[in-house]
Amino acid sequence: MSHAHAHTGAPGPLTNAAATPPVLVTGDDAVAAMKASVTRYGFGELPRSLHGDVLAGLRAEAETQFGGAVHAESGDEAPLRYRARVAGLGDYALSLLKGPEMTALLEGVFGQRFTLSENISCYTFYNSDDHLGAHQDSPAEQCQVTIIVYLHATSPDRDAPDTGLVLNVYGEEPESVGHARLRIPTVAGSLVLGAGSRFWHERPRLKPGETVTAITGCYRRPD
């Protein structure tokens, strides 16, 4: 993804249901498969499930927000190693994440309602050598459900065994790290949900030429 020419304006929130497309273009079987994966592995995906117009709107907003992105990198001695750029969400992304379709999806997969934790949800931009080490999302009470929405994902070799365009999912114990129970490919337009505060997960270091732009967010139980 090139950030050389940011858009001068982002789309507004998804407010008029009659005038806006559905957020997701997926069927009951795909949602059932995601639920089964979450039950078994802690994480699941809806591949290429974002409506094209919605994906375009999110990409436009991400380009705008990239202008205010900050570099985030851990120190050498930090228990969690990471490097990326992050930026706040705009109205378009927030309206999607808090909207009725996402609310219904979360309830269908996890069996209860959740509220977006806006303060720890953001756009995340990964480039070559960026990464996010194995971790459980915290604070746990604010991140009972993790969401990742992939907007851009490029690689010269997606099938390389050491590609960074994958989310490795482990178990609930630290000893499980390094032995992935599930590897979710990073594909633009796909959506990932998981119990991120319970199950260890990581994004490997991106190879030269690889980039990822994503929404990374958290949901909590309503107060």
Within-domain flag for 130: yes
pTM: 0.90
Confidence of residue 223 (pLDDT cuts 50, 70, 90): confident
Within-domain flag for 177: yes
Confidence of residue 19 (pLDDT cuts 50, 70, 90): low
Give the mean model confidence (pLDDT) for residues 88-107. 96
Q: Torsions phi, psi of 213, nearest 5?
A: -120, 130
The span from the CA of 115 to the CA of 91, in Å, is 16
CATH code of 83's domain: 2.60.120.620
Within-domain flag for 12: no
CA dihedral 92, 85, 7, 100 (to 10 degrees): -10
If one counts the domains in the chain, the total is 1
On average, the pLDDT of the chain sits at 91
Give the mean model confidence (pLDDT) for residues 85-111. 96
Range of the domain at 193: 28-220
